[in-house]
Each structure stands twice: as C-alpha cells, then as structure tokens.
C-alpha cells in the first residue's frame, strides 16, 4: 500500500514559549534548550546535529546535516574539509543558516549569520582530540569529489595509514573549524492545532531585539 504522507500528522502537546519569561540574550536560551535536548533526546537522535545550508557561486542552495561542536557568545562552531562543497560555498559566500530540530521536545531553532574560519590553533586542538581513525579519514577522503567505487576510498585510507605508521597524525591544512556568528535566531515551540510559538531574535546595532512571529 502506498505511503500517504498527507495523513501523517502529530499533535503537539508540550508547554508553550512565553517571551516574557525568556532571556534577552538568545545564546542563553539556546544553551538552555541544548542542555535539555542533550538530557532528553535519545539515539538515534543526536542533540547537536543540525542542518547547515550554504549557497554556491551560482546562487543555488545546498543543505546537509553536521554536528555542532561548540557555541559561546561569539557563535556556533563546526569542523570540516575546506575543499569540500560546503567549504567552497563558504569561501564564495560566507552567509549560512543552521537548523536544529529536537522532536522529543517539539522544538527547533533557526540560526543565520556569517561564517569565518577558526584560528588554526583552535582547529589543531580539536583535531588532536579526535579518534585516530577520524584523523586518518580527514587525510584520506577527498571530500565531495567523485570516486570510482568504495574500494578507491579504502585504498586511499590504506595509503594514509602507511604514511603515518608509528608517527603523529597532524591536522591537514585543508581541514579545520568554522564559526557562524549569528545575526538572527528563531526559537520554535510546537503548539496544538499548528498555532506554534515563534520567538525571533535579531541583532541590531549590537543589541538583540526580540519579536513574536505568527506561526
């Protein structure tokens, strides 16, 4: 029997989002929501997973799921291959958007802003903390490039393992961190009958301005 997506519907039942009881700083609210997501979401959902959208030089959008690796007053941190498709997009157009979705909490957060590369020292520190297999993979994979087959990738990994046998695996120059500095965050809380709560924070002259948006 064909799957009827039109009939798939969920009723949202958790508490709403009251702007009179939320922090003036959206990064504080994001931290609270991330902590709650970490404590309540269960595998296979990863609380720090996010969709990252970029735009290429032809104005075409591209979106993929990544893992957030840190956040503070300066922004949201993630890592990847600078030569990948997303790396090329960001080199051409630094504007990007993130979306976090936590179904257990009936919440999502949208983030928009400009992206810049992290200081090399910070990228080195994170790279060193990764498991050995992940460090080797960063060297072996020509991310986003066409491969003949799986065997070609495994051959590249074997070659990399031989290259670094019995020696440290440094961070490759083509791999490192990014930070998205937010200029807008929207907090979405599911509500009954699709009358969802949406609180929109926008950075204006260095100050966050908060508004409620219609669902």
Q: Annotation-wise, does 62 bind a ligand?
A: no
Q: Annotation-wise, does 86 bind a ligand?
A: yes
Comparing CA positions, the residue from 83, 106, 96 lying closest to residue 10 is 106
Q: Annotation-wise, does 188 bind a ligand?
A: yes
Q: Annotation-wise, does 55 bind a ligand?
A: no
Instruction: Write out the two tokens for 46.
Output: 């990863």
Q: Annotation-wise, does 178 bind a ligand?
A: no
Kindly compute the dihedral angle of the four CA atoms of residues 62, 63, 64, 70, in this order, to the nearest 10 degrees: 110
Cα 64 to Cα 56: distance, rounded to the nearest angstrom: 14
Query: 61: helix, coil or strand?
Result: strand
Q: Annotation-wise, does 210 bind a ligand?
A: no
Q: Annotation-wise, does 195 bind a ligand?
A: yes
Q: Annotation-wise, does 184 bind a ligand?
A: no
Q: Which residues of 47-76 are buried (b: 16+ CB within 10 A; e: fewer)?
A: bbbbebbbbeeeeeeeeeebebebbeeebb
Q: Annotation-wise, does 126 bind a ligand?
A: yes
Q: Annotation-wise, does 12 bind a ligand?
A: no
Residue carrying the six token digits 């120059």: 173
Q: Annotation-wise, does 73 bind a ligand?
A: no
Q: Annotation-wise, does 194 bind a ligand?
A: yes
Q: Annotation-wise, does 66 bind a ligand?
A: yes
Q: Which residues of 193-214 are buried (b: 16+ CB within 10 A; e: fewer)?
A: eeebbbbbbbeeeeebebeeee
Residue carrying the six token digits 């961190």: 177
Q: Which residues are annotated as a binding site for substrate?
A: 69, 126, 130, 134, 194-196
Annotated binding site: 64-69, 86, 108, 126, 130, 134, 143-144, 188, 194-196, 198
Binding-site positions for FMN read 64-69, 86, 108, 143-144, 188, 198
């Amino acid at each position: 029997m064909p799957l009827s997506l039109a009939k798939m519907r969920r009723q949202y039942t958790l508490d709403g989002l009251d702007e009179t009881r939320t922090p003036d700083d959206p990064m504080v609210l994001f931290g609270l929501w991330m902590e709650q997501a970490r404590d309540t979401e269960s595998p296979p959902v990863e609380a720090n997973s996010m969709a990252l959208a970029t735009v290429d030089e032809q104005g075409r959008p591209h979106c993929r799921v990544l893992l957030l690796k840190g956040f503070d007053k300066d922004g949201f941190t993630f890592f990847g291959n600078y030569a990948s498709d997303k790396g090329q997009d960001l080199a051409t157009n630094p504007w990007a958007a993130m979306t976090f979705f936590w179904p257990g909490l009936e919440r999502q957060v949208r983030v928009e802003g400009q992206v810049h590369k992290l200081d090399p020292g910070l990228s080195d520190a994170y790279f060193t903390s990764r498991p050995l297999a992940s460090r080797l993979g960063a060297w072996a994979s020509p991310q986003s490039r066409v491969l003949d087959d799986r065997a070609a990738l495994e051959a590249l990994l074997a070659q990399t393992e031989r290259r670094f046998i019995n020696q440290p695996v440094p961070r490759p120059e083509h791999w490192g961190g990014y930070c998205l500095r937010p200029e807008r965050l929207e907090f979405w809380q599911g509500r009954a009958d699709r009358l969802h709560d949406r609180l929109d924070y926008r950075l204006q002259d260095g100050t966050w301005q908060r508004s409620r948006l219609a669902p």
